[in-house]
Structure formats: C-alpha cells, structure tokens
Structure 1
Amino acid sequence: MSRTLRSLVATTAAGLLAAVLAAAPPARADDLVTHHEFQANCSPTVHRPDDPIVFPGLPGASHMHTFLGNSSTNAGSTTDSLKAGQTNCRTPDDKSAYWFPSLYNGDQLVVPNFPQVIYYKSGILRYQEVRSFPAGIRFVVGSPTATQEQFRTAPGAVEGWECGDSAHNWDFPAWCPPGSQLNVRYQAPSCWNGRDLDSPDHKSHMAYPDRATLVCPATHPVPVPMLEFKMAFPVSGDMSRVRLSSGRGYTWHYDFMNAWDGPTLQALVSHCVNGGLQCDPRGYDQYKPHRGAALGPDYRLPR
C-alpha cells in the first residue's frame, strides 16, 4: 500500500471513529459509568405532628412525622431558621429538613436506629447535565391519600416495601424474618420548572423525567438531583399491626426542604453526580480512589 493510500485510510478511519464517538450516547450503567450519586446520612431527631410545607405555622395540624437531620425542624421552619439550626447529618453543612410519616407497630413507635440513607442521584440519562438544587426549594413526594394501585404505578416507586427475601410489596409484608429490617425505597421527581421554589400542591413545580427517554419534559426543563429515600425500620415477625401515621403502607410519602450550604452541595453534585461516581457523604468513591473526594476529612468543603 502506498504512503498516500495509507494516509487516506488512516484519515478516513479517524474521521469515522470521531463520528461514531460524537454520535454515541452518554455512558450507561453497563459500560463506563455504573453510578452517579452521593449519599446524605442523617438520623432521626424528633417526632411531631407538624409539616412546615403543607401546614406552615400550624403546630399539631398534621399526622405524626419522623424528622431527620436538622434538629430545629418544626411547623414554623423556614430556610433561614433551618440554616441557623443544627444537624446530625454526616455532612455538617447539610442543614436540610427531611421527614416522613411515623411508623408504628400497634401503638409502639418504630424509630430507625442508625443513620438513614438519602441518595442524591441523576434521574436523567445525561447525568452530566444535572444541576444543584436552588436555595430554598421544597417539595412533597408521594401522597398520604394514595391508593395501593397509585403507589404501585407511581413513577417514584422503586422497590416498595421489602424485608428478608420479600420485595416489591406495595403494602406491608404480612411477615418479616425475625431480626430483619423493614425497608422502603421511593424516588422523587428530578425535573424543576426553573421558576418556583414551591407550588400550591407542593408538587407541580417538580416533574419526573420521561420513563422511556429519561429526559426532562419541556415544562420542567431543569434537571436537579433525584432524591431516593431508603429508610429501614427495626420491626419484624408478624406485621399485621404495622401502620404508618398516614395509614397503610401505600400512603408512604416524604418531604424535603433544601437548606444546604450552596457551594458544598454544588461540589458534591459536580464531583459525584456529574462525574459519574458512587460517593459516600464525603464525596468519595471507594471503587475509584484515584478520583479523590469532594470534601475534606471533616466532611466540609476545603476553604
């Protein structure tokens, strides 16, 4: 083969390769990137019949809720009051409020007995485009009035309720192996309308991505982190008396009020979500240690 022909073949091959790479979709979970997430680990603080999103300024107006993270959360909480409060989240600059309907076994309150996991993930295919939450955003995920069919078919349902080898339960399992934990997973919407920090129903300013394309709808074009609550309750054996303060298992729902330090949240989103990593609360992926961490050893942004 002549030098001219070899040069032409090489140039053509390089051009084809460039075209293929340009047309290739973003990395999926089965090739280059397996995760795009980080964790918030927060423990229960208090149990109150308050809901500062649905019933702001009205203590006792709601069913009982279990609050995580910020110890100051009550019916009168605002973004400013949360930022002035204290948190037990592993990342101390996460002053956000997280809460859900309290779980009971008969009349006995069942309290998670170790730090719970709240994932911040990409809900869209192009995880590189996820943006940080705007300051002060708040929303409700799920509904205390949902039917079992609504819970089963909700775009936020992941595993439903599970314990032992029993999974995909849309109400509480009848029995859990002694010593096991009752778990629930449920995903939040991850597309924001780009304007409102709240809405009259506390949901309409948020939307789920299209299930087929994992792209945000035109009405809610801004991709933000997808929250996934993974809560574990130390209850097992006969589950016939287990209930939520809002009713049956399919009335599971939760609330979020963002009170993160903005630069800290942005660092975690950029490093872990946009960077395609599986991070702990420090922003460190133990499977890819060469990528480093977003935060320092004290779980704070280096100053």
Structure 2
Amino acid sequence: MPRRSRYLSGTLIASALLLTSVGLGTVAANAGPTETAEATGPAVHAGHTMAVSTKSSPEDPDGDGYIPANPPVTGVSPSTKEPPHRYFHEFQANCSVTHTAPDDPIVYAQQPGKSHDHTFMGNRTTNAYSTTASLDAGTTTCLAPGDRSGYWMPTMYNGDKPVLPVGPQVIYYKAGVTDYTSVRPFPKGLRYVVGNPMQSATEFRNHKGFVEGWECGDSFFNVDFPKNCPSRPDVQVNIRWQAPSCWDGKNLDTPDHKSHMAYPVVNPGTNNNICPADHPVALPMIEFKMAFPVNGDLSKLRLASGPSYSFHYDFFNAWDDRTLKAMVDHCIVGGLQCDARGYDQTHPEAGAALNDRYELP
C-alpha cells in the first residue's frame, strides 16, 4: 500500500547526549546535555540515572567499549552522485515480539537484570549475554529466517500491565542518502542505540530520527502519548522512528553506542543527503514502525524508560550475510518497495530476492 517514505532532518542534538539505556527513574523534561558514564557504577546528573556502558565481554575483552570491525572498511568517500529518481528504495523486516526482560546486551553486556525492561523482537535468544556468535546460532520470529538480528525497545505499560505489539512488526530498511545505489549491507555484529532515554520532550521532537512521533487515530506528530484515542478495535498507538545510517567503517560499537554512527547531512552544493566525511559508509536506514494494541484512555500509559519522549531502541545485526546482501542489492540499490521476501507488487517483472519461504533461492 502506498505511504509516505522520507528522511526528515531535524535540529542537531548536542554531541554530548548519551544514547544509552537506563533504569527507570526521574526524567527531567528540561535537562540539558549529560556527561559520560563512569565504569564504576551509576551516577546521577540533573535527575538522570546514568548507564554503565563499559564492562569486559567476549567481544570487548578489555572493557573499553570499542569493538573494532574486522576487517574495517577503508577508502570510501561519501557519494554525491544522484542516480535516477526512485521514490522507494526499501524492504521490510517483519519480526514479532519474543519476550521481555530487564536486559540490554549492548549497554549492559554481561549484566542481567541491570536495565529497565525491554520488549525484544527477532532473535529468540537475545539476553544480557548475547554476542554476535550467540545470535548467529539462534532462531528468529522474523519472516526471513536469515534475519537473526536482535531488535528491542523499552516495554510499554498501561498502568502495571505490559502492552506488547501483536504479530509481525514493520521494521523498514531504507536508503537514508540520495545515492541509494551506494548503500551496502550492515557488517555482521554492528550494534547501536537509536534515540536517547534521557532526552527532554523538545529534544525528542527535534531529534533527526523523529518521523511522526506518537500516533493514534487521526492524531499525529505527538511528543506525549495522544490524549484522545478512539476506542475502536482497529485503532492502536503507533510510533515511527528512524536510525542513523552512516557508519565510520571502523567500529561495530563504541562506548556511547552511537559515535560510530551518524545521520546523513545535506550537501550544500546539491541539497542531496550524503554521509558526513567522518562516517562515509552508507548503510541501510532502519525505521521502526511499532503498533501497540491500546486505545481509549491513555492517561496511565508509560514506558519502562520513563515518559513517552524517552522512547529509543536498539539494533544488533545478526543477519545471514548473503541474505542481507540479496535484499539490499535487490530492493534498496534496485530502487524498489519490497516486502519481507524482497518483492515489489508494483514491479512484478523484477521478481523477488527470496523464495516463498523467505529464504535465498
């Protein structure tokens, strides 16, 4: 079904903002930039509970927070080309909820129960001890068996009752840059946090990942949960939120879980979206479109991370390399609007990247 597909730029967030997951606590709506967390334990700044983000793990044995890519991607310059216009260059990863747990294998690796509660999708095995190897060996609720990635976000509550998305959720993989032909697959093991659970309402609204905020019925662009949500079976609370899509080519993770990634910037010469020079590698732009089965009175709605504007999510890539490359090349580089098997109904002549079992033919 046709729908809007776009990259929305917003005000740049202060570089000191820490994109990490935190325990549920008081979130100051007018708090400013925060300081880097110390590895010794939580510290309180401006009413926020800071996250411990450094601890030794199988993939980060020295616990410095850096996980280098092996091999790194070098010799890449941001593409300023403008290929033939195609309104769509995307595919979907449709993944269902697997479980909830107070774990976060990115921010609180090897520390079970340390995080606020998360709702996990995709890989069934995701927990505090997850590594690239463990996810690669796991199974998935994504329609494509080759997508063993972990996707998670703070659990939503209506009062004390969890509100869990039902059925496969829409996770778009899009081109965030104008030259969609320059987009390449994620490196195995890449991980990052999108958004900031400690952001203020204004920072949430002005974040580059903001698309339409919280939606319900005919109410869009909300920072807070909508106050008027029709009590109808077909109405749910939705949010759309986009991830950065430019990579430094060097690190699969960094101590703040965000510095190795960047949002595209506008090339002043052409007004095209390009990757910045220090993050020149164009990767797919993930966009969460989550649907929560709740409507009517939303006065008791909250997130495990705090208020509505504390929304954020995590991504840990564990796609089968060949499957992901087939989807990226066919759908994003090919300028198509694909479903979860890489098929574009408006271009049946292009065929599909995957077979009827969502696997490589």
Normalised TM-score (structure 2): 0.75
1:36 aligns with 2:101: no
Give the CA deviation at 1:198.
0.3
Alpha carbon RMSD of aligned pairs, Å?
1.2
Contact kept in structure 1, 2:81 and 2:179, CA below 8 Å: no
Give the CA deviation at 1:101.
0.1
**Which of 14, 22, 27 is the aligned partner of 2:84?**
27
For this pair of structures, how many residues does the alignment match?
A: 276
Q: Gaps (5+ residues) in structure 1?
A: 1-22
How far apart are the structure 2 equivalents of 1:25 and 1:142?
29
Partner letter of residue 56 of structure 1? Answer: A
For residues 88-127 of structure 1, the aligned pairs below 5 Å read 88-127=141-180
Partner letter of residue 157 of structure 1? Answer: F
Give the CA deviation at 1:213.
2.9
- 207-216 vs 270-279, greater mean Cα deviation: 207-216
1:206 aligns with 2:261: yes
1:187 aligns with 2:246: no
How far apart are the structure 1 equivalents of 2:107 and 2:308?
20
Give the CA deviation at 1:125.
0.4
**Which of 226, 244, 258 is the aligned partner of 1:173?**
226
Give the CA deviation at 1:283.
0.3
Equivalence for 1:233:
292
1:259 aligns with 2:314: no
How far apart are the structure 2 equivalents of 1:175 and 1:54?
35
Give the CA deviation at 1:34.
1.9
Equivalence for 2:185:
132
Q: Gaps (5+ residues) in structure 2?
A: 1-79
Give the CA deviation at 1:296.
1.3
Equivalence for 1:268:
327
Structure ID, larger Rg: 1
Give the CA deviation at 1:113.
1.2
Residue aligned with 2:238, SS: strand
Contact kept in structure 1, 2:147 and 2:320, CA below 8 Å: yes
Give the CA deviation at 1:26.
2.5
Question: Percent same amino acid among aligned pairs?
Answer: 60
Residue aligned with 1:267, SS: helix
Residue aligned with 2:221, SS: strand
How far apart are the structure 1 equivalents of 2:83 and 2:218?
34
Give the CA deviation at 1:24.
9.2
**Which of 205, 213, 216 is the aligned partner of 1:160?**
213
1:81 aligns with 2:131: no
Give the CA deviation at 1:171.
1.5
Residue aligned with 1:237, SS: coil
How far apart are the structure 2 equivalents of 1:246 and 1:25?
40
How far apart are the structure 2 equivalents of 1:175 and 1:240?
10
1:293 aligns with 2:352: yes
For residues 138-153 of structure 1, the aligned pairs below 5 Å read 138-153=191-206
Residue aligned with 1:87, SS: coil
How far apart are the structure 1 equivalents of 2:81 and 2:129?
49
Give the CA deviation at 1:89.
0.4
Contact kept in structure 1, 2:305 and 2:311, CA below 8 Å: yes
Equivalence for 1:219:
278
How far apart are the structure 1 equivalents of 2:84 and 2:316?
31
Moved over 2 A (4+): 23-28
More helix by share: 1
Equivalence for 1:71:
124
1:49 aligns with 2:102: yes
How far apart are the structure 1 equivalents of 2:310 and 2:272?
28
